[in-house]
Structure 1
Amino acid sequence: MTSNAADGSHYDVEVKLSSTDRVLTELQKSIITGAIPIGTWLRHSALAKDYGVSRTPVREALRVLAAQGVVTIVPNRGARVNGPSSRDIRELGEVRSELQGLAAELAAERINDAQLSRMHHAWDAFRCSLDTVERTDRHDLADMWGDANEDFHSVIVEAAGNHQLSLTLMDLHRRMPRNLSFGAYAGNTHLLRKNLAEHDRIGQAIADHDASTARRLMAAHFKHANQATARWVESRVQDEQESIRPIQNSEDVTSARPVSYSGDQDGVPAQHSGKLL
């Protein structure tokens, strides 16, 4: 009996850790891609139901996200998804541009044929998605060009062959949800074309194994992207302040409160907030 109890206890711990890991991974992915927008309230019970787990792994996953600065835990309310300020974005941009430049430099020296092929595929996919936007006037293809953009940069980081650099960039990436760049670029084909032209030059430098040029171009690419994102966030904050001002003067201020991820619980409205697009 003692042996069986010990085995059962060990098994429970393994399942618990596995569940926490899974919930954490799914939440990180949803926040980064913008599926869970900035400002969303995450409720333990709703998340537990969505992921088919108890509240314990949800609570532990949220603690990890809070330690990373991705969410802020508020007692008796849940956790609210944080968004970087324009200053945060500019500071992150300074770090990311240097590290992504290093990744491009190393990739130019180390990339293999298979990785080069994948980089070209992502490069072409980005161009095709932008061509579709311009040809059809559809601006609902953000996921398409967003995925292609991430694939392009992911292959380059992989080709750099530096695990510590990859981990550092992954941590920085978690602090910049993709829906921020969606907001800065969505519907702006001029910016997207400029972004594509920069990809072309970066990709060519890496294919030519021109390490110094690849580093310089990639660093400039991330500086441009972060400047565009910071400007967009600043304009959005100003717009939101102007739209909230009349609400604060009215009796009904509940509509200005952040919304819940799922379910009407503890006084939080049961609706999703819109994506930052």
Structure 2
Amino acid sequence: MISHRTRHRGAGSVTAGTGGSANKPIQARVIAEMRGRIISGEIDPGALLSELALAEEFGVSRTPVREALKQLQTEGLVEIRPRVGTFVTAPSRREITELFEMKELLEGAAARLLARRGRVPEIDRLQENLAQADAAVARDDRDRYAELVGEFHDLVITGADNRKLEAHYRTLMNQLAYSRLVTTSLSRPGRPGQSDREHHLVVELILEKDGDSAEQVMREHVRASRRALMAGLPLPGRRDD
């Protein structure tokens, strides 16, 4: 269960009020903290979550914890099994494939939209990201490169300046818990260098304002990442269906 794996990061315990409105700030804090732990991989896929242990850790009643877990289930991060327990979602290979297919569509569209915008601040940040990524690859610092990969894709999404696209993307990435999967993808021999070259090509096409090609190359990049990831599976979790 999660009780022996997690750390209490709050400044102090909070006592839940009796009213629903009083519970909302507490519930939001629990949601944000648990979401972050799941997405980062601090809590393993398939881990059993104890309402009682979480309530004790956060210093609250079980009610805001229960409501928080319901919200995380809506986001696809946990699975509540009646009379069994609540578990961190462990995507099957099929689910990972489907999520990556949506990632490919959204990031391709974002690259196209960014290419149309001209010299926006995200372009400068992307170029700085590439410079740091080159250095990380050169010294074989895969942990740092993994961080820069996440930043690169985030900059493309924010640079598209489409709030609906970004909202869908954030929900998707939470379900995918990408930060814990990218390490598996980058563990394949030669993948960090290839990924870095693909990033450079995407930015070159965006700078050239070639939206069609930027979209195509970004989609090819996401497919390549998916292939590298799938080669590094299986992940623990539910059956492939």
Instruction: Decide whether the 8 Å contact of 2:99 with 2:172 is kept in 1.
Output: yes
Corresponding residue number in structure 2 for 1:162: 162
Counterpart of 1:249 in structure 2 is: none
CA contact (8 A) 1:17 1:57 kept: yes
Distance verdict in 2 for CA 1:207–1:12, change over 3 Å: farther
The answer on whether the counterparts of 2:107 and 2:218 sit within 8 Å (CA) in structure 1 is: yes
Partner of 1:244: none
Shift of the alpha carbon at 1:118? 1.4
What is the letter of the counterpart of residue 128 of structure 2? H
Question: How big is the shift at 1:111?
Answer: 5.2
Paired residues in the alignment total: 221
| Aligned position for 1:152 | 152
Cα separation, 2, equivalents of 1:36 and 1:193: 29
Deviation track 1:251-275 (CA, whole Å, cap 9, x = no partner) reads: xxxxxxxxxxxxxxxxxxxxxxxxx
Q: Secondary structure at the match of 2:176?
A: coil
Would you say 1:184 and 2:191 are equivalent positions?
Answer: no
Query: Counterpart of 2:91 in 1: which secondary structure?
Result: coil
Contact 1:86 1:231 in 2 (8 A): no
**Shift of residue 155, structure 1, vs aligned partner:** 1.1
Q: TM-score, normalised by structure 1?
A: 0.72
Q: Max radius of gyration: which structure?
A: 1
Mapped partners of 1:198, 1:151: distance in 2: 15
Compared with structure 1, are the counterparts of its residues 124 and 48 closer, same or farther at alpha carbon in structure 2 (3 Å cutoff)? farther
Question: Gaps (5+ residues) in structure 2?
Answer: 1-16
* Distance in structure 2 (CA, Å) of the matches to 1:34 and 1:124: 27
1:30-69 residue pairs with structure 2 within 5 A? 30-69=37-76
* 1:6 match: none
Cα distance, 1:219 vs structure 2:
0.7
TM-score computed with the length of structure 2 as normaliser:
0.82
Cα pair 2:120 2:159 within 8 Å, conserved: no
- Determine helix, strand or coil for the equivalent of 2:42: coil
Shift of 1:218: 0.5
Match of 1:208 in 2: 208
**Compared with structure 1, are the counterparts of its residues 51 and 123 closer, same or farther at alpha carbon in structure 2 (3 Å cutoff)?**
farther
Flag as ranges the 4+ runs of structure 1 deviating above 3 A.
10-15, 49-53, 74-78
Structure 1 residue 22 displacement after superposition:
2.0
Paired residues of 2:133 and 2:148 also in contact (CA < 8 A): yes
* 1:69-105 Cα distance to aligned partner (Å, 9 max, x none): 3211234654211121111122222222112100000
- Long gaps (5+) in structure 1: 1-9, 242-277
The CA distance in 2 between the partners of 1:211 and 1:159, in whole Å, is 13
Partner Cα separation in structure 2 for residue 11 and residue 176 of structure 1 = 35
Contact persistence 2:31–2:68 (CA under 8 A) = yes
RMSD over equivalenced CA pairs, Å: 2.5
